[in-house]
Structure 1
Amino acid sequence: MSTMSNSTTGELFCPLLQTMQEHSLNNNTKANLVVVCIHGLFSCLGILENAIVLWVIGFRLRRRTVASVWVLNLAMSDFLATLTLPLFTSYLYFSHSWELGNPLCKTQASIYFLNMFVSAFLLAAISLDRLLMVVKPVWSQNHRSVGGAWKVCVLGWLFAAINTLPYLLFRSVTKKRDGRNLCYHNFGLILSSQATLERDCKVRQAATAISKLFLAFLFPLVVIAASYMQIGVSLRNRDKRRKQSATRLTDALIVSNKNEASETAKTPTSTKNIFLKPVTSGPALTLTPTTFSPTTPTEPKQGQLSQSFTKMVTFVIAAFALCWAPYHIFCMIEVSAQYWDNLYIVEVGLPLATTIAFLNPVLNPILYAFSCPHFCVRIRQSLGAVFDGLVEEGGGLLMMPGRGIRAHIRRKSSRDVSLGTPGTPGGSDSPCKRPDIQPPFPLSLTSDGHKGNDMEKAKEEEEEEEEMQNGT
């Protein structure tokens, strides 16, 4: 394949790009119109979704957590990528011709690859973070912090920027034979001569394609898979040890009760009757296992939150792999096109693979929302409550918790029961109902006229906040 240069500007073109200049594809106007409509819909949806996620995670959270830092940076990367979707839609609208100039061509390509590298890096970092929390819980409790998460994210953005630099330098607009403009990378732009053009193009194209494949796809997926495999092994071993300790504890209790029963059999009858009451009444047998039980009242809450975040991460990783796999496959086919005549497959398949990759930042906000526990209930409460259970790590995060329907029904029914049943604990919370404290007049008839109502409202608000924190 012969090399050539632009006669007017002296610009060198790689042999593969020369062949693409001569081809004229995608002339079906009706098919292009359908694709443009789909892309336009995805553009609006993706920008709106990621803007909402940034607003909720960035401004509606009272307390920043490590999980919220991960999600916030993923959303920032996806938001930047969706901002370039209208540019790509314009390229499709003009029948696969780039009419927006060389600066926007470089900007669109750079943000596209920046999102690819940042997403891969952050997903691998999240998986390692989950692994450390399971394998090294004490170390994670002492060293895992929001500041450390931000440092890792900054490192990820620098890593992505360095790997995006070649695409920023070599991306340019090239004029095709049929008059269209092609926004594509030309690896002969910088530090190349007519004698070394073909070699430089092959080496640079292969190096960028392989680096993308390994650094932005295969290596992160290996880290993710290895992390979750180790998490599964650690949890299974921990559960096995927990069952063994519970069995030993039960055996020890049985032996202890038998010894106590044999000792009481030797005591006099009067003493035996007094001693047997706590043994046979049951609390001594039931309270002791409950105290050492692995499922304490606070642990199900933490387990539920961790499970929701793990489910979200699993969905995001699966979407990342499915959306970016076709693109990397066609990039490797493009590298082989320099040696075999399969460029037509690349010219048809690569734009389609790029479109599928653009779906990733559009799908991620949907996965964030539907991974949240009790999504349908929380979406009716407030927009911020949708992400409350997703990124919290113990305690409510929202500045203004909403009023839950289920909490309202539960609170109303418990209030009716407490008021209708004399002597119940709920009915004796107010000082007016306690027999040892008799105020001279009801609190609801004091000078301000609202003390009783204020106490009741404060109690209701505390119950609502407790319901929100429990994820109901």
Structure 2
Amino acid sequence: MGMDCFHSNTSAAPNQTFAPGKLSSLSIFTISLHGIVSTIGIIENLIILVVVGFRVKRSIISIWILNLAMSDMLATSSLPVFTAYFARGNTWTLGSTFCRIHSAVFFLNMFVSGFLLAAISLDRCLVVVQPVWAQNYRSIQLVWKICCLIWAFAVICCIPFYMFRDAIPLPSGKILCYYRYSLYLPSEPYDLEALCRQRKEGLAFMKLFFAFLIPLAVIILSYIFVNLSLARRGCRRPFRFVRLVIAVVVTFIICWAPYHIFIIIEVMASSGSPAQKFATKSLPISATIGFLNSVLNPVLYVFSCPDLCRKIRHSLGEVMESVLAEDLAELARRRSTARSTISNYELPKKVKYSIPNEKADDLDENDSLTNSAEITSVVKDEK
């Protein structure tokens, strides 16, 4: 395993290593992709948090969306740090504790997103398959309790990934934010090489089952039962519903399947084999694609709700109109102040010979203020 059993291969989510020296084209592409994903994700989820958190009446679907946006916001807000880590030549300078925290954030989003998407799908299934039970027991308080349990269980799942991460200095001068499986060794006799491999495989399959396969199975089975229940009642499935189901399943698979596939290949392949080398090179991109799920979730679950879309557009429109009105008023004030200053400066020079020009300047100033006031008035009227 090498170097005190630390994970020298790149199964560590977004903070992987590249070849030392000049950044390769793959490195530049990864850095750019991280920057784009983080920027879009932060803006998108921040808008949803503000609108759903402060301008939408509390409902069951709004609680699901709010928790999903919180998880996605947490993940995308951590991406700029990883982007800077790449740009600095993959050298970690923020210490061991911060290395563990940032790595845990990635895995926390992975688990919370999977659990929440499964819970949302199961909730929709119960509403259709068991409408009487849903009417009697499905409540806002129950959904909040389920969300709290999801976050608590996700935090518990992240503990091993937090424990076995460390900032590892290399002889070349680099500091890597990697797994170190030789931490927390047992007191009884053990084989260090075998122990490290067991821990490595255990964490990889834990992620695969709890964060991907089980949530995916719940999502698919829930929508299968919904479809069968509607068909048994002779109800026609709305096209929007069918499109949403397909989009949810396909997006979840596309975003997370490559990461988990490459993790398993990297763990199970023999050291130095072509398969392991290929998986090692592919993991940085696949981890970034996993973050795309945090950008696409709002599109699938928020913008598929017409009422919520209208609230978001209305809120953003109010903000933009308010900002525009304030900017125009400030511009009018500055232009008025500037013209008054110029007029006062030129008045002593022109008072004896240029009385008509002075009146013209005053007329221009009044026209400017009138035009600015009219623009501001139009903006306010449109509100």
TM range (shorter): 0.7 to 0.9
Aligned pairs, number? 310
Query: Which whole-Å CA distance do the structure 2 matches of 1:379 and 1:17 have between them?
Result: 46
Match of 2:226 in 1: 231
2:173 matched to 1:172? no
Alignment of 1:421-440 (within 5 A): none
Match of 2:43 in 1: 48
Alignment of 1:247-262 (within 5 A): none
Match of 2:356 in 1: none
Alignment of 1:181-330 (within 5 A): 181-192=175-186, 195-239=190-234, 312=244, 315-330=247-262
Match of 2:5 in 1: 13
Where in structure 2 are there 5+ consecutive unaligned residues?
12-16, 319-383
- SS at 1:84's partner residue? helix
Match of 1:362 in 2: 295
Query: Which whole-Å CA distance do the structure 2 matches of 1:178 and 1:111 have between them?
Result: 28
- Cα pair distance change 1:339/1:329, threshold 3 Å: same
Given that 2:166 and 2:179 are in contact with CA atoms closer than 8 Å, whether structure 1 keeps it comes out as yes
Once the two structures are aligned, what percentage of the paired residues are identical? 46
Match of 1:152 in 2: 146
CA deviation profile, 1:127-182 (whole Å, cap 9, x unmatched):
11111111111111111000000111111111111110000100011123432222
Given that 1:123 and 1:317 are in contact with CA atoms closer than 8 Å, whether structure 2 keeps it comes out as no
- Cα pair distance change 1:365/1:180, threshold 3 Å: same
Match of 2:63 in 1: 69
Given that 1:308 and 1:373 are in contact with CA atoms closer than 8 Å, whether structure 2 keeps it comes out as no
2:367 matched to 1:372? no
Given that 1:60 and 1:384 are in contact with CA atoms closer than 8 Å, whether structure 2 keeps it comes out as no
Q: Kindly state the Cα deviation for residue 340 of structure 1 after the two structures are TM-superposed.
A: 6.3
- SS at 2:306's partner residue? coil
Match of 2:55 in 1: 60
Q: Kindly state the Cα deviation for residue 111 of structure 1 after the two structures are TM-superposed.
A: 0.8
- SS at 1:183's partner residue? strand
TM-score normalised by structure 2 residue count: 0.73
2:265 matched to 1:333? yes
- SS at 2:8's partner residue? helix
Given that 2:121 and 2:222 are in contact with CA atoms closer than 8 Å, whether structure 1 keeps it comes out as yes
Amino acid at match of 1:318: V
CA deviation profile, 1:194-229 (whole Å, cap 9, x unmatched):
952111111111111111111110111111111111
Task: Identify which range, 31-40 or 73-82, moves more after superposition.
Answer: 31-40
Amino acid at match of 1:239: G
- SS at 1:179's partner residue? coil
Match of 1:37 in 2: 32
Amino acid at match of 2:220: A
Where in structure 1 are there 5+ consecutive unaligned residues?
5-11, 243-302, 386-472
Given that 1:172 and 1:185 are in contact with CA atoms closer than 8 Å, whether structure 2 keeps it comes out as yes
- Cα pair distance change 1:121/1:369, threshold 3 Å: closer
Higher relative contact order (CA 8 A, sep 6+): 2
TM-score normalised by structure 1 residue count: 0.60
Query: Which whole-Å CA distance do the structure 2 matches of 1:83 and 1:24 have between them?
Result: 23
Match of 1:260 in 2: none
CA deviation profile, 1:250-280 (whole Å, cap 9, x unmatched):
xxxxxxxxxxxxxxxxxxxxxxxxxxxxxxx
- SS at 2:234's partner residue? helix
Match of 1:282 in 2: none
Given that 1:46 and 1:362 are in contact with CA atoms closer than 8 Å, whether structure 2 keeps it comes out as yes
Query: Which whole-Å CA distance do the structure 2 matches of 1:165 and 1:83 have between them?
Result: 21
- SS at 1:188's partner residue? coil
